[in-house]
Structure 1
Amino acid sequence: MRSKLFAAGLAGTALVLGFASPATADTADTIVTLTVTAEDGLSISAPATANIGSGNPGDTVSGQIGPVAVTDERAALNANWNATAIATDFTTGGATGPETIPNINVLYWSGGATATTGSGTFTPGQGGAGDAVIINVPRDAFTHTGGSGDNSATWNPTLVVNVPEGVVAGVYTGTVTHTVL
């Protein structure tokens, strides 16, 4: 009898399994977001001081002023920027006429990049000495076009000062200002 009950139980199980409805699949979607932030924006740095040498009235004095660097941490889709340079007059003493080298006598050339990071095109404002420009008004020093995300460029510009005849001896001081937009 026991084997008949077991056989009947197996048959009942087979019937239950055969008529059970199929299992349905269930899904759950999760939309995931994250935020990419810009670190510090767009910045430029340059040496606080530079001494480019000495010369007599009528001479040309030139020298590199040290590394200038643009750091672009805007994480922008179009990571374009333009850096410019402009100079003040160079003066000594009371800044009278004979104590002034006008900024029209101050030339600048950026030269090529000494270092870059990121994608896009980095272009010096003036590739070589023959391209030097008077910086009595803002002049392109370096530009970046194309690319996206963060990038940077460093260059070591040369300043050329044509010392006019008739200026007096002294330590002449002027300011070269670099700006990036």
Structure 2
Amino acid sequence: MRSLRVVACAAVAVGAGLALTTPAVAAPTDSTVVTFNVVGAGLDITAPETASLGSGLPGTVLSGSIGTVRVTDQRGAPDASWTATVTSTHFETGGGSPSERILASQVDYWSGPGAEEEGNGTFTPGQLTSANAEPLDTVNPIVAFTHTGGTGINSVAWSPTLNVNIPASAVVGLYTGTVTHSVA
């Protein structure tokens, strides 16, 4: 008879609106490992295709900007350091005889300050003022600008000036040379 009472009590409890509880079961779970790549786009330098410094007389100094040079570093490197350098050919007119040639070393370069600096790290001009101008060379590059330290992407622009020391022996003519900026 005892078993009947237990069943009768359970029936009364359910009938009275009391629910019998069952132990909680943990909800099923699953994990997903997520990966993605952060990619770099490289290190690049751009400079104007052409520049005209105007006109000057033999035995004088002709000075002018060649336009904006820009380094863009999108390597995303843990050490985002780089050095921009500059070299030049000799400047010649006519047949390029000694009197028709202004040597690269007779042309001084100064980078001036940086502009539009983006990113972290330290940007340093090679020649901050005209007093720091350095003669160009056909073989040995001079430092135009550097970036040290920092991480990720960065960029800077500058407008270098050339001071052409026109020899007194220079002949009249349109002189042409190539100034080359590089970055590594």
Q: Given the two structures, how large is their TM-score scaled by the length of structure 2?
A: 0.87
SS at match of 1:98: helix
Q: Deviations over 1:53-100 (max 9, x none)?
A: 211111111111100000111111111111001111000000011100
**Amino acid of the structure 2 residue aligned with 1:27:** T
Change (3 A) 1:10 1:23: farther
Distance in 1 of aligned mates of 2:158 and 2:167: 28
The answer for the alignment partner of 2:177 in structure 1 is: 174
Tell me, what secondary structure is at the counterpart of 1:62? Answer: strand
Q: Does 1:161 align with 2:135?
A: no
Residue deviations 1:15-47 (CA, integer Å, cap 9, x gap): x946x4442354322111111111x31111101
The answer for the alignment partner of 1:76 in structure 2 is 77
How high is the TM-score relative to the length of structure 1? 0.88
Question: Which amino acid letter does the alignment assign opposite residue 60 of structure 2?
Answer: D
Q: Are residues 1:139 and 2:149 paired?
A: no
Q: Judging changes above 3 Å, is the alpha-carbon distance between structure 1 residues 173 and 30 closer, same or farther for their aligned structure 2 residues?
A: same
Counterpart Cα distance in 2 of 1:10 and 1:118? 76
Structure 2: segments with no counterpart, 5+ residues: 1-6
Post-superposition offset of 1:12: 7.1
Identity %: 49
Deviation string, structure 1 residues 112-143 (Cα, Å, up to 9, x no partner):
01211111111000000000001112011011
Residue equivalent to 1:149: 152
Task: Name the residue aligned to 1:123.
Answer: 124
Aligned residue pair count? 175
Q: Which position in structure 2 is the counterpart of 1:41? A: 42
SS at match of 1:56: coil
Q: What code does the residue aligned with 2:150 have?
A: G
Counterpart position of 2:3: none
Give the deviation of 1:8 after TM superposition: 3.8
Partner AA of 1:23 in structure 2: V
> Any unmatched runs of 5+ in structure 1?
none
CA distance in 2, matches of 1:41, 1:22: 56
Cα 1:10–1:101 shift into 2, 3 Å: farther
